[in-house]
Every structure is written in structure tokens, then in C-alpha cells.
Structure 1
Amino acid sequence: MPSREDGSTSLLQAPPSQGKGPTAALPAFDIAIASKPASVSVARRVADAWIRCHCQMSADSVDDVLVVLCTNAVQHGRRESIDVRGWMPAPDRLRLEVHDKSPSPVPCPQHVGPEGESGRGLLLVDILIAGLGGDWGFSDDGTSA
């Protein structure tokens, strides 16, 4: 799985809107949630409402991706909160980021045997994102998906 593409821009690094043109007022959200299992459903509900309202698309597959990424951030991150961001870099594109702020080696999808009880999350993300025609990855320092 590749790291985040060169040339992509984090929401924090994005230039401010110039207030004109078709992309000037594209919607975005940015929330910080406690790094606790119960907070994953909060992130899912916020993203679901935002996607349904502003992106005019079904959020089902995107919800599944977000739940896996937030769950991984809660389980493997070493901070008290995680950041979840969503925005539309163009009218027909959706970008979600999950930041656990815990530098780590970049994880990759695993192929787990039928008896395994965990370890399928990133493989599921890979399949769902491919089905949506998108791409995904991690920052080079492993803090963001």
C-alpha cells in the first residue's frame, strides 16, 4: 500500500478559500474525538451526516472505511484524541483523513487465516476503496490515513 501521494495536501496545509468559483464553498468538517472505542461511533455519525448532506451519495461503504480507520487509530495510537477530517477537494471528490498523531511504521493489509480474530481491517479498507474507484494510504510517518 503506498503512502499518501506526493503533492496531496492536508486540510491543515490547504490554502484558504478565495471565496469565488465553483469550489470556493465546498463543505468540510474537522472533529477531535477521544481515543476510546465509544468515540468511533461519534465519528461515524458525524461523517455519515456530512456525506449524506453535502456529498449527495450513500455513506455505507465510506462509513465502513471510517470505522476501520478510527478503530485502528484508537487501538494503535498513543494519544488521548484522534482527529477526523473530511472535505471535498473538488465537487466530485471526497477526502477523509484520520490522524492519531502517533508516529509508527506504515501498516499494510494482512491476509489472515479463517481462524484469525482480527487483522482484516486494512484489507477491507483496500477492497472498499477500490470498489468506490478511489485510492488511499498513510502519511510517511504513519500518523494519518
Structure 2
Amino acid sequence: MTSLSKQVPYASVGHPAYSQTFPCEPSTAEIGRKLVRSVLDMWCLDGLADRAALIATELIANAARHTPCHEIRLIVTQPSATRVRVGVVDQEPSRLPALSRADDNEESGRGLLLIDALSDRWGCDLHGSGMSPWAKEVWAELHLEGTR
């Protein structure tokens, strides 16, 4: 029987990712939550599921409320060994997200504040080349426990 005297380094061939296109409507949030939970369960990252599912809900709700798009793409990736990213792509790159403070008696307007509080960082990337992007992705990242 052979034994190794030193550890063999793990060779990664890429990082996991999952995406799916959905109708851009509020009811998609429920499907999005389930998808995020399933993906994180498959990746053995259940500890992030509650926060990631809530982030997906808010990202989907914002796209449904603030864009005239007919469909969105929900993306769940692990861009590194220490981070999970949840993003929503819509085809309305001119409507960029902005943090705002909602009045106490307003029923909406707190989605990005919630995403900001739940995530380790969030942002928006434009997709396309040059001066005419065709879409934007609003995303939020969570660090895996113990990796900050």
C-alpha cells in the first residue's frame, strides 16, 4: 500500500454556476427562492440558504417592479472558494439600482437596503460592449462562513 508523505493540492477546474430564465413578474420570487435553496443545498452550503433566498427575492422583486422586461435570468455562482453570488439579469441597462431611504409609512423602497444589510457586498454590472450595453446584472455576494 502506498502513502503520500505530503498533501496533494486540490486542482479546481472551475467554479460552479447555475442560471435559469424566468418571467419578470413578482410571482417568480417564490420559484427563485426554491432554486437558490436547491443550488446551495447541492453545493453543501445550506448555511447561506436563508440569506441568499431573501436576496434573490428582493432582486427579482426589484426587476419586476422597476423594469418593463418580459424575462429575467437568475444566476447563482460560486466565483471563488470563499464566495457565493446571487444575481438577476434584466434587459434594462439604463435603470441602475440606487440605495434610497424609504419613509417609515411607505410600503416599499427598502429592497436594496435589505440586500445591503444581508450581503457582504453588492453591485451592478453592465453586459454588452462599448457604449450600448444590452443588459445589467444586479448581484449580491455572501462569504462562506469562516472565510472573511
Provide the TM-score with structure 1 as the length reference.
Answer: 0.75
Deviation at 1:36, TM superposition (A): 1.7
Q: Distance in 2 between matches of 1:80 and 1:106?
A: 17
Q: Equivalences for 1:36-55 in 2 at 5 Å?
A: 36-55=25-44
In structure 2, the residue corresponding to 1:138 is in which secondary structure? strand
Q: Is 1:31–2:31 an aligned residue pair?
A: no
Report if aligned partners of 1:40, 1:67 keep a CA contact under 8 Å in 2: yes
Higher relative contact order (CA 8 A, sep 6+): 1
Which of 81, 92, 108 pairs up with 1:102? Answer: 92
Q: Equivalences for 1:14-93 in 2 at 5 Å?
A: 22-24=11-13, 26-58=15-47, 59-93=49-83
CA RMSD of aligned residues (A): 1.8
Higher strand share: 2
Deviation at 1:39, TM superposition (A): 1.4
Count of residues in Structure 1 that have an aligned counterpart in Structure 2? 121
Report if aligned partners of 1:78, 1:100 keep a CA contact under 8 Å in 2: no
List structure 1 runs of 4+ shifted beyond 3 angstroms: none
Q: Distance in 2 between matches of 1:23 and 1:34?
A: 34
Deviation at 1:63, TM superposition (A): 1.0
Give the equivalent residue in structure 1 for 2:129: none
Give the equivalent residue in structure 2 for 1:143: 136
Identity %: 26
Query: Which ranges of structure 1 fall in alignment gaps of 5 or more residues?
Result: 1-20
Deviation at 1:85, TM superposition (A): 0.9
Query: Which ranges of structure 2 fall in alignment gaps of 5 or more residues?
Result: 1-9, 127-132, 139-148
Deviation at 1:111, TM superposition (A): 1.2
Provide the TM-score with structure 2 as the length reference.
Answer: 0.73
Q: Distance in 1 between matches of 2:12 and 2:30?
A: 30
